[in-house]
Copies of this chain bind each other. A is one copy, B any other.
Amino acid sequence: MSFEGLRVTALAGGVGAARMLRGLAAVTAEDNITAIVNTGDDTVLHGLYVCPDLDTITYTLGGSSNPATGWGIQGETWAVMEALGQFERLGLPGAGNLTWFGLGDRDLATHLFRTGRLAAGVPLSQVASEVATRFGVTARLLPMSDEPVRTMVELAGGTPVPSFGGLGRPCAPGTSGGATANEPAQGPTEVGFQEYFVGLRHSVDVTGLRFAGAERARPAPGVIEAIEQADVVVVCPSNPLVSIGPVLAVPGIAQAVAARRGSVVAVSPIVAGKALKGPADRMLSELGSEPSVVGVARLWSDIASTLVIDEADAALGPQVERAGMAFAVTKTVMSGPEDSARLAEVVLATASGAPGPGWR
């Protein structure tokens, strides 16, 4: 079955989405793919505007990603971070941990470029496209919005939070910093997503989530059209709450996806009750969802008609149906490019209504 002419639009988070997109690019024409990427994870570090999900997808599709980690650049060096560590070792009062978020030298060039372009007034969506071009990516990578949306994580009371250095809005001396780019925490136990995910290694209990700024954000130019005009919409196997959640929180996007529900196929990020990467399983439990394909189906049944689940969860298929979604079963774990391509074929075949290799 050929998917060459298919226009595919994907809702995407980080590493899982990057691997799914790499598979889609392998089995269809990469330049027919549009990814609508979560920017709720974005942060300002040492004055630099960092977009972890956009960069992970860019580096992966461009063949530059570090296969060992899934994020960052292959063959990366760390001269800047090592020199920053010299400041950290001084233990300057109030400076905090300065190297908690690793920024490799080549990765830093991306952040310097992006921050300089944003400072010149170029919208994030254009900068994302320029960065994609630099890495040889021909898929269209769109941030969910050109406006800032910040995923804020409420931690269980009493969670000790170390001092993370370098955060805050970049600013000139004599102007007030801190406030707008990194939304100020509401209450003592709320932190930005990267502080939770990287700084605390997501090993703390979460009691709530908030997408600060989402209500004022508009979909980036092209986002709604890409959903409306796609032959297939794919919800990538990303954390439903903190990767896909922010995308759907931008007014207009969830409605546009729901309007295409019959052409929307989602891939479960949960396999046998566990997240393949990251805290999705624990976070689902902590925030009142079932950490299973059934819980995922309940969250996504309004926007997607079909859920692709792993063979390990085949027995839960009927429950997925009762949650309102058709299901397809295949191997969803992507250990390498071949796995990604095969999963992409199943997803596209499922969406096209043709019985793919794993269709049941």
**Residues of B close to A133: CB separation below 8 A:** 90, 92
Contact with B along A295-329 (1 / 0, CB 8 A): 00000000000000000000000000000000000
Interface segment among A7-15, A120-128, A239-247: the answer is A120-128
Q: Given the complex, which residues of B lie within 8 Å of A156, measured CB to CB? A: none
How far is the CB of A348 from the nearest CB of chain B, in Å?
31
A116 touching B77 in the complex, CB below 8 Å, given contacts A172-B148, A174-B146, A181-B171: no
Interface residues of A in 119-169 (CB under 8 A from B): 119-124, 130-131, 133-134, 143, 145-148, 165-169
Partner of A118, one of B94, B130, B177: B177
Kindly state whether residue A176 has any CB partner on chain B within 8 Å: yes
Contact across chains for A148 and B130 when beta carbons are under 8 A apart: no
Whether, in the assembled complex, A67 has its beta carbon less than 8 Å from a beta carbon of chain B, the answer is: no
The reply to whether B173 and A120 contact each other, CB–CB distance below 8 Å, is no
Q: Is the CB of A121 within 8 A of B177?
A: yes
Q: Give Cα A133–Cα B81 distance, bound, in whole angstroms.
A: 18
B119, A171: Cβ atoms closer than 8 Å: yes
CB interface residues, A 253-308, toward B, < 8 Å: none
4 extra interface residue pairs, beta carbon distance < 8 Å, beyond A119-B170, A121-B178:
A45-B116, A46-B116, A118-B170, A124-B174
Selected A-B contacts with CB under 8 Å, 27 pairs: A47-B48, A47-B49, A47-B112, A47-B118, A48-B112, A79-B79, A83-B105, A83-B110, A84-B109, A86-B109, A87-B130, A87-B134, A90-B134, A92-B133, A94-B122, A95-B117, A98-B116, A113-B166, A116-B165, A116-B166, A116-B167, A118-B177, A119-B169, A121-B168, A148-B175, A170-B170, A172-B180
